[in-house]
Amino acid sequence: MNDEKVINSIFDVYGMDRELIPLHKNCVTRTTDTTRPKRVYIITDGMRQYLACDDREQLRVTACGLKAFERQEIKEQVKDQETGQVCDFRLTQDGMPMIFPFVNNRILRPTLEDYKTILERRTLAFERNAEAPERAVVSCAETKAALLAITLGCCVLVPRDEDLAAIGATKADLAIACWRGRTSCNLLVSKVETIHFIDKLKTALIPAPTDAMET
């Protein structure tokens, strides 16, 4: 993967340090046209060196790397307010455990209530709609303001520090990929993995059993 425009847009929009995570060296795609790949995979230094040794192209590689980014273009391109960049690639939940520690931009900290709601309902509208009264709406004014403050595109939702401490979790444990749309924030996590996150919250929030009544 050697398209500087694609790599630089990812670095800039998500606030990733080139020295800490060398995407420009360790990203691969499954297409020869690296200007518009559908998916971008990340590999380790060791794997990159191993593949580079195949100068005779004798290796038959069918799959390689962890899917970290996926193309999801916005019809009406909006430059990121912090960087002035446009990025056509969203974070994937598959790559979140590896990529999240290096992401500094577009991270939002909702209340635990809003976090649980987007997992359960898969979407959070910014305003109530009389035509769709069943839609879940952001309950916290601060969370809503933070969502409206960022441009359209991918973002990461992580519960607030006090909530993480209360349930004994880390930011990386509960970081979820979402899409900030025009009227709502939508979950970018598979249904199977969503169940995993909900179960993790339920387990953490179950009160400890009380001791049996003394006789």
What tokens were used for 202?
A: 């339920």
193 pLDDT band, cuts 50/70/90, is very high
181 pLDDT band, cuts 50/70/90, is very high
- For residues 43 and 186, the model is more confident at 186
Is the model's pLDDT at 8 over the cut of 70? Answer: yes
Pairing of strands 107-108, 153-157: parallel
Is the model's pLDDT at 110 over the cut of 90? Answer: yes
- Collapsing DSSP to helix, strand or coil, 110 comes out as coil
Please tell me the predicted confidence (pLDDT) of residue 132.
Answer: 83
Please tell me the predicted confidence (pLDDT) of residue 143.
Answer: 95
| Residues present in the chain in total | 215
Please tell me the predicted confidence (pLDDT) of residue 60.
Answer: 77
83 pLDDT band, cuts 50/70/90, is low
Which residue in the block uniquely carries the two structure tokens 């009380």? 210
Please tell me the predicted confidence (pLDDT) of residue 214.
Answer: 43
Q: Mean of the pLDDT values across residues 149-156?
A: 94
The predicted model scores a pTM of 0.84
Backbone angles phi, psi at 198, to 5 degrees: -65, -45
Integer Cα distance of 167 and 162 in angstroms: 9
215 pLDDT band, cuts 50/70/90, is very low
Q: Where are the beta strands (DSSP E) in the chain?
A: 27-28, 39-42, 66-71, 89-91, 107-108, 123-125, 153-157, 176-180, 184-187
In terms of C-beta density within 10 A (0-12 exposed, 13-18 middle, 19 or more buried), how is residue 24 classed?
middle
Is the model's pLDDT at 155 over the cut of 50? Answer: yes
Orientation of helix 112-121 relative to helix 191-205, angle to 10°? 140
Please tell me the predicted confidence (pLDDT) of residue 144.
Answer: 96
